[in-house]
Amino acid sequence: MDKIIVHGGRSLSGTVKISGSKNSALPILAATLLTREPCIIHSVPDLSDIHYMLQILSHLGAQVERASGTVTIQADKVSTVAPYEIVRKMRASVCVLGPLLGRHKEARVSLPGGCVIGDRPIDLHLKGFRALNAACRVEAGDVKVFADELRGATVDLEGRQGPTVLGTGNVMMAATLAEGVTVIEGAAAEPEVVDLANFLGKMGAKIEGAGTRRITIEGVKELHGAEHSVIPDRIEAGTFLVAAALAGREVTLRRVNAEHLNAVTNAISDAGFRLHIQRDSITVFGNGSSLPVHLITEPYPGFPTDMQAQMCALLSRANGESSVTETVFPQRFMHVSELKRMGADIALEGATARINGVARLSGAPVMASDLRASAALVLAGLVADGTTEVNRVYHIDRGYESIDEKLMGLGAEIERVKNQL
């Protein structure tokens, strides 16, 4: 098992290119199951989660070809059963339910299991499928959905912690081939949902309102192949913005969509860092000091939960007391104990982390608990005295394409080694 070793104290400068969005690519790849014709997807990041999705599509019978960042998929004849052994490693595998139900009117997909950041059930996905006239049941660890025909309906997908991103995409994909009109109220407005809707539109789907809380889908008889480029990954971009603020002199991010990052750039600006923002690039000017900030995570366009851990790392060095309140996944603070091992002064009060900035962090062996926690620990290591060893970095490979190489390109002293334990 690999670990990442970070030698702190090196200043970052230069330019980094942001990869395609993992959270866009996964449902877009699944959406290729909606047609028999070939689909070509560009800017697909090289990540373990992407590898798992392509394995699932291959297992279902799709022909998959990959060349660099481009994936070509033709799902001429596919199975409707995805067993546990191929879906267990990735929760997003449930997003094949919608396209299989839409095209074949049935699907059987094994539940992939729990998540360390908290319970993330698929009840809203099933609520949406039932509204479309599908029967749904869970037995022996499998989700089974089937219908004689799918019929358009109005369904509210707002959950207790806000809209469901994967659920919105799943129901939207199934509804593209349903009879009549489907209206999703309480829809997720994330850019990744818009990207999926744009791809489906290129396939011939009729979708309006993506990016708002109300999406309307007019069902069509069939969809055709299409070519599409995945949007830049706003969470990877946000992570590098924090890295630049923590340890940078002048760092420029290229291939970004600045509009998708407003909540993050506002937070970094509030923390006292100067930014030069253009449509497809952002430059951060580090000043070695952060002001305290008070953040609350919210569904898009609010501050993203996927940037919470990284901001905790930044604010651990702020001049004063900050707070970060997690409303989307209240249990998502596994990184706090590891940051405290590095000298951070953080106290948890329910779903709020109260962070008293310290003058210095110290390198230490730490354990990554999830994808974004992994990134936060690497970022903290950039400014810590001495050496930080981040173990279980298979988490980070789920969502960051070559993060160690990209940081090295900016001047960080970082290495990936095989863990002998």
* pLDDT, position 113: 54
Using alpha carbons only, what angle is made at residue 359 by residues 316 and 251, rounded to the nearest 5 degrees?
65
* pLDDT, position 160: 84
Calculate the dihedral angle through the C-alpha atoms of 102, 123, 54, 117, rounding to the nearest 10 degrees: 160
DSSP secondary structure letters along 235-283: HHHHHHHHHHHHHEEEEEEES--GGGGHHHHHHHHHTT-EEEE-SSEEE
Pairing of strands 365-367, 387-391: parallel
* pLDDT, position 31: 98
* pLDDT, position 161: 80
How far is residue 22's CA from residue 237's CA, in Å, rounded to a whole number?
12
The dihedrals phi and psi of 227, each to the nearest 5 degrees, come to -120, 140
pTM above 0.75, yes or no: yes
Q: Which residues are catalytic?
A: 115
Mean pLDDT by 10-residue block, N- to C-terminus, for the chain (421 residues)? 93 98 98 98 96 95 96 97 84 91 96 51 92 93 94 95 93 98 98 98 98 98 98 98 96 98 98 96 91 97 97 97 95 94 97 97 94 95 97 90 97 87 50
* pLDDT, position 111: 82
Q: Which of 188, 183, 150, 145 minimizes the C-alpha distance to 166?
A: 188
109 SS3 class: strand
Confirm if 362 and 386 have CB atoms less than 8 A apart: yes
The dihedrals phi and psi of 65, each to the nearest 5 degrees, come to -125, 140
Both structure tokens of 225: 């192949």
Q: Can you list the domains of the chain with their CATH numbers?
A: 2-19+232-418 (3.65.10.10), 22-229 (3.65.10.10)
The set of residues, in sequence order, having a beta carbon less than 8 Å from that of 209 and lying 6+ positions away, is 187, 215, 216
Confirm if 374 and 330 have CB atoms less than 8 A apart: no
CB atoms within 10 A of CB 349: 9
* pLDDT, position 116: 41
* pLDDT, position 91: 75
